Structure formats: C-alpha cells, structure tokens
C-alpha cells in the first residue's frame, strides 16, 4: 500500500509560490518544501512572514521538522531555507547540480571567491537518493530543464514537481533561463508522468489563469488528460516548438537578478557591510534580449 503523507500548501500571492509542509502525522515528523523569504523590491525590505506562518503551523500540529527541502535555486523569490534551519535545526537540502548553477551565476556576479561546491546546504541529493519523513519513504528524481539543478521529491504518493508542470490549465514551466532547455524539460516531464496515475502532483507556482482561486494539487492522470501543453504535444519536437514560442513572449521574473544571488548561497542574505547595511549586487545588461514589460 502506498504511503500517503499529509500535505499542506501555503500560497504566497506576492510571488504566486506554493510552499509545503509534508508530514507523517503518526510520527509527528515533517519536511518543509520551497519556503519563501519575503522581499519587497520597491523598498528593499525583507521579512519572514511566510516562514513564520509555516513555523506556527508546525508548532500547532506538534510536528518536528526533519528536512528543509528546496527543489531548485528559485528565480522569483528568496529561499527561507537558511532562516528555517536557524529556527529548527533541521538540515537543508537541494539537488547536487546546484554546483553548476553556482558556477554559472558566480561568473555573472563576478564572485570568484564565493564557494561553488554546494557547501551552503547540509545535503546535496542525487538521482535515486532516498530519505524518510517520519515513517514515510521518500526519493529524489533529477528533473532538469527549467534549471540545471531542478529535482523532484517523491514522498509517499506525493511528488513535488516544482517548476516542471503547473496545474493542467496552465501547462508547463518556462525553459529559457540561463542553463534551461525545453528538450531536457520534456524528458523530465515524461519521467514524472511515468509515475503511477494516482500520484499526487504538487506544483511550485500557480498564476491563477482567468482569475480563478489558487490551486496546486493534481494527479499524474489529470496531467496526462488535460495539461494544455502535454495533452496536445505528442512528441518532444512539438513540445519544444510550443514551449520556445511561449518563452519568447515572456519577460524575465522581476526578482531573478536579486533572487539568484541569495538562492545560490543557500538562502543566506548578504553579509552586512561596515555601516551595518546589506546590499544586493545587480549586473546591468546581463540578460540581453529579454522581453521588457
């Protein structure tokens, strides 16, 4: 019998992100997936409202946090992994190919001395690695395409598919970031859709098409039947054409240059300078050719 964890989603309307608490209620153990550290790009203020909301939920349930899991280095929000590690003592984890993302973005930021060995996390997962959330078995799938380092966490009957598949009415994730590729994304999606039909799929974002309420849970069967990209694209070639056409019309995420310098460093904010203030570093004209909005 497939184990069925309790999954609670926390939607952040500022970034359209969904954060998760995945729990074994019997064992009172849980993992936190893709937590958000709040940032207002207009004022430069940071906050921990989202992370603290998750911590309050965990405390109310009487759970112990065993893992803090990021699926990839996010380009649209800061990760709260480091903050939550400080609050809970739980280890942080991400896919081992984050080292490739670090090398790429460290070159963009001209950071020759910043570690690019993944040492900012406690565990770097590889394809097929296993772990547990309480008594529930979990494993890792390497799912690149959206980024070089993206992974999927399969925890019992629940798969956290980050930015590969969105809800069926929203299709699939973009593949035009540095290191992304639609051909590879197709292969990653095929591996996810090869999971049992009843597998619950939890996405990393929901952009609420036509103004509907936020949604984040589907199944493999539902994605096969009605995903607006996958149901109409029977071949990799067809998918790549659809995905690349769509990507050419999209502006970059508004926080990509801010977020990657935080998230390639394990969610750590910049060290304060001599005046006690933290500063972000924004490379100008790096993403040439990107759509203006």
Task: Report CA Rg, the chain.
Answer: 18
Residue 293 pLDDT: 85
Residue 2 pLDDT: 79
Residue 170 pLDDT: 97
Read off the pLDDT of residues 191-232 as tens digits, 9 standing for 90 and up.
Answer: 999 999 999 999 999 999 999 999 999 999 999 999 999 999
Tell me how long the chain is: 293
**Is 228 exposed, middle or buried (CB count within 10 Å of its CB: 0-12, 13-18, 19+)?**
middle
Read off the pLDDT of residues 239-277 as tens digits, 9 standing for 90 and up.
Answer: 999 999 999 999 999 999 999 999 999 999 999 999 999
**Domain annotation for the chain: domains and CATH numbers:** 6-251 (3.60.15.10)
Helix (H) or strand (E) holding 160: strand 158-162
Pull the structure tokens for residue 147.
């980024």
Residue 1 pLDDT: 66
Helix axes 182-193, 236-247, angle to 10 degrees: 120
**For the chain, which residues score pLDDT lower than 70?**
1
């Amino acid at each position: 019998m497939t184990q069925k964890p309790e999954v609670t989603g926390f939607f952040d309307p500022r970034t359209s992100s969904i954060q998760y608490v995945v729990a074994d209620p019997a064992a009172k153990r849980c993992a936190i997936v893709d937590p958000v550290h709040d940032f207002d790009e207009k004022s430069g203020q940071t906050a921990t409202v989202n992370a603290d909301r998750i911590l309050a939920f965990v405390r109310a349930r009487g759970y112990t946090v065993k893992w803090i899991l990021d699926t990839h280095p996010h380009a649209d929000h800061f990760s709260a992994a480091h903050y939550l590690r400080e609050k809970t003592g739980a280890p942080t984890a991400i896919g081992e190919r984050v080292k490739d993302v670090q090398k790429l973005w460290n070159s963009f930021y001209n950071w020759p001395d910043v570690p690019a060995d993944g040492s900012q996390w406690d565990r770097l997962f590889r394809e097929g690695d296993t772990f547990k959330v309480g008594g529930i078995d979990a494993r890792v799938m390497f799912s690149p395409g959206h980024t070089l380092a993206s992974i999927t966490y399969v925890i019992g009957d629940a798969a956290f598919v980050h930015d590969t598949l969105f809800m069926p009415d929203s299709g699939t994730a973009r593949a035009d970031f540095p290191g992304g590729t639609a051909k590879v994304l197709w292969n990653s999606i095929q591996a996810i859709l090869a999971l049992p039909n009843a597998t619950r799929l939890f996405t990393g974002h929901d952009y609420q098409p036509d103004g509907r309420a936020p949604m984040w849970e589907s199944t493999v069967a539902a994605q096969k039947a009605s995903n607006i990209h996958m149901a109409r694209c029977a071949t990799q070639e067809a998918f790549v054409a659809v995905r690349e056409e769509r990507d050419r019309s999209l502006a970059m995420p508004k926080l990509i240059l801010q977020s990657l310098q935080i998230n390639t460093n394990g969610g750590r904010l910049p060290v304060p300078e001599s005046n006690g203030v933290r500063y972000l570093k924004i490379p100008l004209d790096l993403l040439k050719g990107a759509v203006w909005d």
